[in-house]
Structure 1
Amino acid sequence: MNRFYFSALVSIVVVFSSLAQTPLDEVVVSSPRLNVLFSDDSKSVTVITAEQIDDTPVSNLVDLLRFQSGIDIRRQGIEGAQADVYLRGGTFDQVLLLIDGIRVDDPQTGHHTLNSALPLDVIERIEIVKGPAARIYGQNALTGAINIVTKKEGKKGTNLSVRQGSFQTTHLGVTAQDHSDNQQHVVHFSRLGSEGYRHNTDLDNLHFFTHSAFGASKNLKLLTMFNDRKFGANGFYGYASYEDQYEETQSSLVALTTSFVSEKAVWTPRVFWKRGQDEYILIRNNPSAYRNMHINNKIGFSLDTKLTHSNGNLSGLGVELSSVSLQSNNLGTHSRTLAHFFFEHRFKLYNISITPGFALSHFSDIDTFFYPGLDLGLKLSDKAKLVFNTGYTYRVPTYTDLYYNGPTALGNSDLKPEKALSHELSFSYNMPSWELEVALFQRNSENLIDYVEVTVGDSQWLASNIHDVTTRGGELNSSYHYTIGKQRQTIVVSYGYIHDNYTKTVNSRYALNSLKHNINLLFINRLSPKWSTSFSYRYATRPLGGHFKVLNAQLEYVMDKFTIEIQGRNLFDASYYENLIPMPGAHGMLSLRYAF
């Protein structure tokens, strides 16, 4: 890694560690299996709290994640109709999404990762685990993992939300919470519809979510989720000239979790069922011309165990056994069994936290993978810590990578699994009024899978292992809080830089056009207890050309049980593209929320 960057990071550590004096308010990071305090954790984890979610001028998870450095959200349409998530220059197949620690990956394709995204109304916090620290989650977490932690218990009552915006966009949602001595419930239903901002970009989304807990200790938990999306897909896949594409997707999850606690151990068994469905039509008004239908199911059992030793050291281990099946008129009928085991042990030497670990995964139709890693955390003070992570991660090809046969894309059954060796050095400094995080990383990927042109200028793209790719980058996240009168103000700045070096020059569809520079600015101005405004600005460039500047704003008024919001998006009416799709110009949204 470049000596200049390393020296700069060390200098920052020395300066800011000398300033640290006051202890932090702590949150427990639940995505790493050891469940340790954030300041004691030796992994690179970004936590988005419920307060931060409320303060950000967005209405869905897709737009919220765009504010995070290292995350590249490539939207196709509005209001999260369809979008792909890329982390630190990886592909959309290399990021794992979890809900309360439950893997919701889709064996068909990573295009469906965000089909399981939950409404912001039911999210307590989001934990983003970057780099090699995500190895314990196994398949798909090659570049990292995003864990959505849902709301479990809050204030009794019901919240009603209504939104009306440009392009005849309408949203209606209701969230109810109730609890007693031996049970608690969260129920959410919402529907979003829009005519779209250009030809054939209409959408109709439905979300249903429940979380219930039973028993005196409320440790028997039932989670259910159902997302249904229907949208016009003008140019979403293949070429821009494919203007009449249409798609319907469904994502379902049912999980039953409990826990057994003793003085030195916590056992958390879980059974779950995840279902995905995807119907794709090339010509919307002529389905018989070309239609794909895919249905996949995953049924599994997992057991996570946390052990606390007499000397204060911690061990985390777990196993997951699952069965995956796919039925498709294009990809064929396939099934596999998966066994995943992980182990890590955390011990402390003075103010150094040391966590070696490994994961072992077996796929019945592919191979067995062993990938070790090491996490080191140096606690410089109550406010500052230095973290180093190194380790191996991997990804097996999706069924689309292996078997797809379409007008513009071809699968390849001879694909090899991807693997990567990653290193990361990060420094974080936290005060009540100021937070700072700086990270440098490098990932050496082998057999990276992407779609490349069979012949230059040809219309066919073939899934291929594009040999070795080295990705280097850096991230900076900082927020500052201050008061004017009695009102708290917030400024958030984030910057991400990524550079890819690859041994074979290819015309790649996805992997080699990461965000080179990504700057996000967020200003939250609380004018009074009832009035507040927020402004967000984003500037981004890509190595293959293209850049964009987008400004959004929000005005909020709170009156007793009512909250009114007015959002203005792309206020400068910038013309820009994401995934070769033109994004909408200036548009807006009016929202009304009522609590009773």
Structure 2
Amino acid sequence: MNFKLSEDRMNEHTPNKNIMKQLTNIFFYSVLGLSTLVSSNLFGQVADEDIFEMSLEELMNMEVTVASTQALTSRESPGIISLITSSDIQKSGARDLIDVLRTIPGFEFGVDVQGVVGIGLRGNWGHEGKILILVDGQEMNERSYATSQIGNHFPLEQIDRIEIIRGPGSATYGGYAELGVINIHTKKGKDLNGGSLALKYGQMQNTFGRREADVMFGQAKEDLSYDIKFHIGDGNRSDRIYTDLYGDAYDMKDNSGLRTTMINAGIKKNNLSTRFIFEDYNLEQRDLYDAILPVTTDIKFQGIYGEVKYDAKISEKLTVTPKIQYKSQKPWVQNDQTARDLDIYYDKTINQILGEVVLNSQISEKTNLIGGMQYYNDKAESQTGYEFASNNSTSLSFYNFSAFAQGLFKTNFALITVGARYNKHEQFGSAFVPRIGITKVIDKFHGKLLLSQAFRAPSIENIDANLDIKAETTTVFELEAGYQMTQNMLLTANFYNILINDPIVYFYDVATDEEGYTNYDKTGTRGIEVDYQYRGDWGSVGFNYSFYTAAGNNKVASYSVDGNDDELLGFGQNKANLLASIKVTDQFSINPTITYLGERHGYATADASDDPVLQNFDAETFLNLYMLYKDLFIPGLQIGAGVYNLTNNDYAFIQPYNSSHAPLPAASREFIIKAKYSFTK
């Protein structure tokens, strides 16, 4: 691909100075505001519930709802569950969601196209519609290509907890909950009980890594609760050199900006609740597909999310919850003059209206039944007069109807979960996916046997690119055993087998400069995950290890590694994490993290015929160290400092499918400093 611009046009393309000026002003005044609050100590109490001192047993008994509408402990819950608290995030010093998820078994990341980084899980590329990301119940996956963008996107300071399912979601989710669910709960009125101001700055070797500010207010009083949270951030993906398949290169220091603005507000009065989220995520890129661009271009991901929900208490045993959600997204937008000149212009809006009714019946202490119906309509509209190929119109829409049911039965033998979901999609007809789980807790031992199916209909752009595209279905078998060795130690291990039939796979053809989607026969992985946790008076330590193999499950050529049927592109088979928190005093802790990623394979160069050449990437180790001081000088003030990628390894995000995109370098060593002040009203 060859791109030519006039020298004048190239000189015109400069970073957005207004954004930078606004961020600088916000950062300055936020520091001033923090200093004022600290010096005056207006309220003098910490708002967030302090869970730094929770024992292992207390954490195990924290209830989650990610795998069931009924609150259960993670040991009882019918899913392979990971729970991450705000305390975990604070102590680790995590910079963004990548840092958090990398400490969870099975998670890894890869580059898609145009500077976008997505999620892989258990060796499978889950970026396009296979992993559901929820923020306060709002689906954040964009509805055009069904992707989710990772890296300086979701503000960590606002998070109360993250509930993760490694495996298909509950029958109540459907949609993109095919390989996993990342359910993010932000801080609500009762969690804030006042407000907080948080600032973050990171410095890489050659440029700043991030500049962020979060302001939150909220309160819960009798039958009224409200919260409002603001986030603004500016960062860089990397400060290293990107080299495309053909040897052309550019410095990412000034060409990989990540800018985020997010507003999240909610109010609840008695049983009526509303939620509003606005996000504006912008990234700079020059990597495009196989060949780099002559200048940097911006890609925008914008969204507005709204929900109204009412919990109608029909009786002590029956609750009916109707809800309406509205979503308007503008993903992958490139609509400036530079994009026109480079012929990469894209500007479409996707609107979704969703209605749902759920019945939750606690028939007895031992029986809980839920059931519901959901209807949504997706409508895409071109903002430029572009006509969709599938209908020769400037708009394209589809509806989907689903019905679901799930029962939890506490028997003397075990806790048994049985569920199913029925889907009827306008384009692809109907599908039925069942789910069964058997979980048992016997004193210090727990076991889980889970068999689940998931159905995912193609998204708007999947359909428009290929009218013959089919829906994909996934079958997952999971087995987990856990044992509380002592009051302070817990060991769990699980085995899984994932098989995706008719997987929807993206491709980019270098020769024709065309992209599209097609179905393959099957793909999937099987593997094991081991997790050890210890918590004592002096602190905590955790270790986890994950391994996958694709042997016998993968038939997607663009995912495969030639000569090695066990491995898939971009994702190493072995990963291990060692996490510790050492309490020096009740206020001061030292928190090291070590992550080992096994060797990977990907395409980084091309031969004389411009065909991609497979390359082996050595194993990498991340060493991170973060120190946190709570209640410094006054209650509610936290100061933290640390370093990520202490060894300054040369890790890069590899494309997990063969479409000629070279690995995208990640950040160099980054020094982090954070300040947060929380107060109660």
- TM interval, shorter chain, is 0.7 to 0.9
Is the alpha carbon distance of 1:538 and 1:171 closer, same or farther for their aligned partners in structure 2, counting shifts above 3 Å?
same
* 1:117 shift after superposition: 5.9
Q: Secondary structure at the match of 2:307?
A: strand
Other-structure match for 2:172? 136
Other-structure match for 1:173? 214
1:475 to 501, 510, 529: 529
- Aligned partners of 1:284 and 1:425: how far apart in 2? 54
Q: Secondary structure at the match of 1:315?
A: strand
1:370 to 413, 432, 441: 432
- Aligned partners of 1:504 and 1:74: how far apart in 2? 20
Please list, as runs of the form range in 1=range in 2, the aligned pairs for 1:128-167 lying within 5 A after superposition. Answer: 128-152=164-188, 153-166=190-203, 167=207
Question: Is the aligned partner of 1:439 residue 2:504?
Answer: no
- Aligned partners of 2:150 and 2:353: how far apart in 1? 20
Letter in 2 for 1:257: K
Other-structure match for 1:289? 342
Question: Is the aligned partner of 1:490 residue 2:531?
Answer: no
Please say if residues 282 and 289 of structure 1, whose CA atoms lie closer than 8 Å, have aligned partners that are also in contact.
Answer: no
Letter in 1 for 2:165: V
RMSD: 2.8
1:316 to 364, 370, 394: 370
1:53 to 82, 85, 89: 89
Q: Deviations over 1:319-359 (max 9, x none)?
A: 21112111234755211112121111222331312222210
Please list, as runs of the form range in 1=range in 2, the aligned pairs for 1:200-239 lying within 5 A after superposition. Answer: 200-214=255-269, 218-235=270-287, 237-239=288-290
Question: Is the aligned partner of 1:506 residue 2:557?
Answer: yes
- Aligned partners of 2:202 and 2:87: how far apart in 1? 25
Is the alpha carbon distance of 1:567 and 1:327 closer, same or farther for their aligned partners in structure 2, counting shifts above 3 Å?
farther
Other-structure match for 1:416? 470
- Aligned partners of 1:526 and 1:75: how far apart in 2? 37
Number of positions where the alignment pairs a residue of Structure 1 with one of Structure 2? 556
Please say if residues 502 and 519 of structure 2, whose CA atoms lie closer than 8 Å, have aligned partners that are also in contact.
Answer: yes
Other-structure match for 1:554? 626
* 1:550 shift after superposition: 1.4
Select the structure of larger CA radius of gyration. Answer: 2
1:395 to 419, 436, 456: 456
Question: Is the aligned partner of 1:186 residue 2:220?
Answer: no
Is the alpha carbon distance of 1:123 and 1:311 closer, same or farther for their aligned partners in structure 2, counting shifts above 3 Å?
closer
Other-structure match for 1:86? 120
Is the alpha carbon distance of 1:576 and 1:95 closer, same or farther for their aligned partners in structure 2, counting shifts above 3 Å?
same
* 1:426 shift after superposition: 0.7
- Aligned partners of 2:259 and 2:428: how far apart in 1? 38
* 1:415 shift after superposition: 1.5
* 1:461 shift after superposition: 5.2
Question: Is the aligned partner of 1:37 residue 2:72?
Answer: yes
- Aligned partners of 1:452 and 1:252: how far apart in 2? 29
Q: Deviations over 1:299-331 (max 9, x none)?
A: 111122221224621111122111211123475
Runs of 4+ that moved beyond 6 A: none
**Higher-RCO chain (CA-CA 8 Å, sequence separation at least 6):** 2
Taking only the aligned residue pairs, the percentage that are identical comes to 19
- Aligned partners of 2:320 and 2:581: how far apart in 1? 42
Bigger mean CA deviation after superposition, 192-201 or 247-256: 192-201
Letter in 1 for 2:548: I
Other-structure match for 1:3? none
Question: Is the aligned partner of 1:268 residue 2:330?
Answer: no
Is the alpha carbon distance of 1:458 and 1:582 closer, same or farther for their aligned partners in structure 2, counting shifts above 3 Å?
farther
Is the alpha carbon distance of 1:292 and 1:24 closer, same or farther for their aligned partners in structure 2, counting shifts above 3 Å?
closer
Other-structure match for 2:381? 327
* 1:62 shift after superposition: 3.2
1:301 to 347, 355, 358: 355
Q: Secondary structure at the match of 1:40?
A: coil
Please say if residues 450 and 509 of structure 1, whose CA atoms lie closer than 8 Å, have aligned partners that are also in contact.
Answer: no
* 1:282 shift after superposition: 9.4
Letter in 2 for 1:530: Q
Other-structure match for 2:19? none
Bigger mean CA deviation after superposition, 257-266 or 567-576: 257-266
Bigger mean CA deviation after superposition, 582-591 or 461-470: 461-470
Question: Is the aligned partner of 1:569 residue 2:641?
Answer: no
- Aligned partners of 1:23 and 1:535: how far apart in 2? 23
Other-structure match for 2:10? none
Is the alpha carbon distance of 1:418 and 1:211 closer, same or farther for their aligned partners in structure 2, counting shifts above 3 Å?
same
- Aligned partners of 2:395 and 2:335: how far apart in 1? 22
Other-structure match for 2:245? none
Please say if residues 191 and 207 of structure 1, whose CA atoms lie closer than 8 Å, have aligned partners that are also in contact.
Answer: yes
Q: Secondary structure at the match of 1:584?
A: coil
* 1:564 shift after superposition: 1.5
Is the alpha carbon distance of 1:232 and 1:364 closer, same or farther for their aligned partners in structure 2, counting shifts above 3 Å?
same
Q: Secondary structure at the match of 1:299?
A: strand
TM-score for the superposition, normalised by structure 2: 0.76
Q: Secondary structure at the match of 1:292?
A: coil
Other-structure match for 1:539? 596
Letter in 1 for 2:185: V
* 1:120 shift after superposition: 2.3
Please say if residues 451 and 476 of structure 2, whose CA atoms lie closer than 8 Å, have aligned partners that are also in contact.
Answer: yes
Bigger mean CA deviation after superposition, 522-531 or 494-503: 494-503
Please say if residues 354 and 375 of structure 2, whose CA atoms lie closer than 8 Å, have aligned partners that are also in contact.
Answer: yes
* 1:468 shift after superposition: 1.8
Other-structure match for 2:98? 62
2:330 to 254, 277, 290: 277
Letter in 2 for 1:163: K
Bigger mean CA deviation after superposition, 282-291 or 219-228: 282-291
Q: Deviations over 1:254-295 (max 9, x none)?
A: 111221222211222211111211244399845443210121
Please say if residues 81 and 164 of structure 2, whose CA atoms lie closer than 8 Å, have aligned partners that are also in contact.
Answer: yes
* 1:116 shift after superposition: 11
Is the alpha carbon distance of 1:284 and 1:594 closer, same or farther for their aligned partners in structure 2, counting shifts above 3 Å?
farther
Other-structure match for 2:672? 589
Please say if residues 99 and 147 of structure 1, whose CA atoms lie closer than 8 Å, have aligned partners that are also in contact.
Answer: yes
- Aligned partners of 1:571 and 1:307: how far apart in 2? 52
Other-structure match for 1:356? 418
- Aligned partners of 1:128 and 1:531: how far apart in 2? 29
Q: Secondary structure at the match of 1:35?
A: coil
Is the alpha carbon distance of 1:116 and 1:528 closer, same or farther for their aligned partners in structure 2, counting shifts above 3 Å?
closer
- Aligned partners of 1:61 and 1:576: how far apart in 2? 17
Q: Secondary structure at the match of 1:55?
A: helix
Q: Where in structure 2 are there 5+ consecutive unaligned residues?
A: 1-56, 240-252, 389-393, 562-567, 603-615, 655-662
Please say if residues 303 and 330 of structure 2, whose CA atoms lie closer than 8 Å, have aligned partners that are also in contact.
Answer: yes
Letter in 2 for 1:437: T
- Aligned partners of 1:27 and 1:556: how far apart in 2? 24
